[in-house]
């Protein structure tokens, strides 16, 4: 999938397979090491091959298609505590209460969005699973300190929050380039 809102990445996809797979040249593989209600921290897959039945996120700066081939004697990565589940070898139907998040481009940018019950995810894909049912509708991705996709989830209440200048006065209209505070967060008016 082509993306424009992920720094340093022009193509992004989830992947899993029922067998170990070689990471193609020009492609970087990541797994989710930790995830909370707002962001998923990505960790690079070290080694030459992705282990069988592990969900990963593949990134590339090239728009060229790559072929995923089975690993033979390549060095397999050890992946521990991966929060990405997989549909390796068979499609996955999301059940009620799965807390599954699917990689998609939505209103808040490229992120993991809450999957709807009875939606079918194709085989050999990966999806984020969270323990907490109270997570938001979208989970941003953090690649080593740089949050990509959405930076934060804005509640509808925050959209209507009053705007203040840096002296604490409430303002009705913002001026382009001005620094303001809304919902406890600083922003520059555009």
What confidence score (pLDDT) does residue 131 get? 72
Q: Which of 36, 29, 37 is nearest to 55 (CA)?
A: 29
What confidence score (pLDDT) does residue 159 get? 59
Low-confidence ranges of the chain (pLDDT < 50): 146-157
What confidence score (pLDDT) does residue 151 get? 41
What confidence score (pLDDT) does residue 135 get? 62
What confidence score (pLDDT) does residue 190 get? 80
């Amino acid at each position: 999938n082509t993306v424009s809102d992920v720094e340093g990445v022009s193509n992004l996809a989830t992947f899993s397979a029922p067998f170990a797979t070689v990471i193609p040249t020009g492609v970087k593989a990541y797994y989710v090491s930790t995830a909370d209600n707002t962001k998923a921290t990505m960790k690079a897959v070290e080694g030459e091959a992705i282990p069988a039945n592990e969900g990963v996120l593949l990134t590339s700066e090239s728009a060229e298609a790559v072929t995923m081939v089975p690993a033979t004697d390549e060095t397999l990565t050890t992946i521990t505590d991966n929060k990405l589940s997989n549909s390796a070898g068979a499609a996955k139907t999301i059940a009620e209460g799965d807390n599954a998040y699917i990689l998609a481009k939505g209103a808040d940018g490229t992120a993991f969005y809450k999957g709807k019950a009875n939606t079918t995810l194709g085989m050999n894909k990966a999806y984020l699973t969270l323990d907490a049912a109270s997570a938001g509708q979208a989970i941003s991705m953090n690649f080593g300190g740089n949050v990509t996709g959405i930076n934060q989830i804005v509640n509808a209440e925050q959209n209507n929050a009053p705007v203040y200048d840096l002296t604490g006065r409430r303002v009705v209209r913002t001026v382009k380039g001005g620094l303001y505070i809304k919902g406890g967060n600083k922003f520059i008016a555009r």
